[in-house]
Amino acid sequence: MTAISLTDVHHAYGANTVVRGVGFDAGPGTLTCLLGPSGCGKTTLLRLAAGLEPLQRGAIAIGGETVADPARGIDVPTEKRGVGLMFQDYALFPHLDVLGNITFGIADRPRERQTWAHLALERMDLAALARAYPHTLSGGQMQRVALLRALAPEPRVLLLDEPFSGLDVTRRAQVREETLALLRETGVASVMVTHDPEEAMFMADSLLVMDQGRIVQAGRPADIYFQPASAFVAALFGPVNRLEGRVAGGRVDSPLGPFPAPGLAEGTRAQVLVRPEGLAVVAGPALNGACPARVDFARLLGRSSHLRLRGGDSAADLVLEARVPGVFLPDDGAAVAVTVDPDQAFVFPLDG
């Protein structure tokens, strides 16, 4: 059974179309992530699914029931759609304590849901704060309270909009692990919006990449990371090194070596995108086809080292950014050899 289904959804604010023919399905117990830059239509889709915006065209079904279809005059109110909402500002009730916030929507529900609320507080390490008020909580604590409040009524679908954006880096990693574990336990279908690719990779079962109101690629996170459909998708996951050339003999030659260009016609202007972590850098002269380079600078970033490199010999104008595991800090100006992991390099038309 499909928990939530969107079919050919369109939406505009005046003359500005922000969602263009979007459709997807999500099953129970799965987390679907909408990933894309600001303004691509992610949050609008969540608001349409929740009923916070009237659907202009298309259809939305939740739990097999159509909840929005303007062509048939269907527009089920938010409170009757069976959705849980969690937005980035958390929107806790300031006049209610933690337990009151969580149980606000289940006051008339069977006693077992009240029991669930108390057990959930313990599960999320919040039991000692049951009588505390929102203004006394940390960002991570507020996030967990907001999550439990959204889950308390047993929604058919949970909608999350940038739920971790207000947390610092260390806290964010811990809270999203706790959140993912709790969602797995409850089995609720979840749809989450984020612009953070690392977060999307960690959280999602299914990843939908959006650009200018459309889904431009959908699939498992690992598949999209290693098989991006366009230069836009490849660059969405972080900085890339860009090299240009023309297709000749089915490949693009570059200072970093030749790269296969399947599907591109001979003579096509092409770009090669190489992720910084796709570059292997070793000290010393370049041998066996490696690209010679010199170090502009090297900086330690904790678990990895970041290097800015400048190509040597015939590649003197080549500037590269590399990310290598562990501590690797050669002196400025040191000679190094650079090779490429082919799984981290992608060839697209220059206008793609």
pLDDT band at 351 (very low <50, low <70, confident <90, very high): confident
* Domains of the chain from N-terminus onward: 4-231 (3.40.50.300), 239-349 (2.40.50.140)
What pLDDT, on the 0 to 100 scale, is given for residue 169? 80
Q: How confident is the model at residue 115 (pLDDT cuts 50, 70, 90)?
A: confident
Q: What per-residue confidence (pLDDT) applies to 200?
A: 95
Q: 214-270, pLDDT tens digit by residue?
A: 999 999 999 999 999 999 999 999 999 999 999 999 999 998 999 999 999 999 999
**Nearest CA to 198 among 175, 180, 179, 225?**
225
Evaluate if residue 124 carries a pLDDT over 70. Answer: yes
- In sequence order, the β-bridge partners of residue 24 are 6
Q: What is the percentage of the chain residues whose pLDDT exceeds 70?
A: 97
Average pLDDT of the residues in 172-176 = 88
Q: Is the pLDDT of residue 203 over 70?
A: yes
Asked if pLDDT for residue 127 goes beyond 60, the answer is: yes
pLDDT in tens, 132-164: 999 999 988 998 999 999 999 999 999 999 988
Question: Each residue of 46-86: pLDDT tens digit?
Answer: 999 999 999 999 999 999 999 999 999 999 999 999 999 98
With a CB cutoff of 8 Å and minimum separation 6, the contacts of 101 are: 92, 93, 134, 145, 146, 149
Identify the pLDDT of residue 316.
Answer: 58
pLDDT bin (cut points 50, 70, 90) of residue 352 is low
- Which pLDDT value is given to residue 312? 64
Q: What is the DSSP string of 318-331?
A: -EEEEEEES---PP
pLDDT at 166: 79
pLDDT above 80 (res 338): yes
Confidence of residue 198 (pLDDT cuts 50, 70, 90): very high
Using DSSP's 3-state secondary structure scheme, residue 184 falls into helix
The DSSP code sequence of 257-276 is --EE-TTPPTT-EEEEEE-G
Longest distance between any two alpha carbons in the chain, whole Å: 76
Beta bridge partners of 6: 24, 60
Query: For residue 314, what pLDDT band results from cuts at 50, 70 and 90?
Result: low
Residue 105 has pLDDT above 90, yes or no: no
Mark residue 17 as left, alpha or beta (left: phi above 0; alpha: psi -120 to 50; beta: remaining).
Answer: beta
Predicted confidence (pLDDT) per residue in 16-49, tens digit:
999 999 999 999 999 999 999 999 999 999 999 9
Q: DSSP E strands: which ranges in 195-344? A: 206-211, 214-219, 241-248, 251-252, 259-260, 269-274, 279-283, 291-300, 304-311, 319-325, 335-340
Cβ–Cβ under 8 Å, residues 34 and 192: yes
Q: Quick check: 171 pLDDT over 90?
A: no
* Chain mean pLDDT for the chain: 92
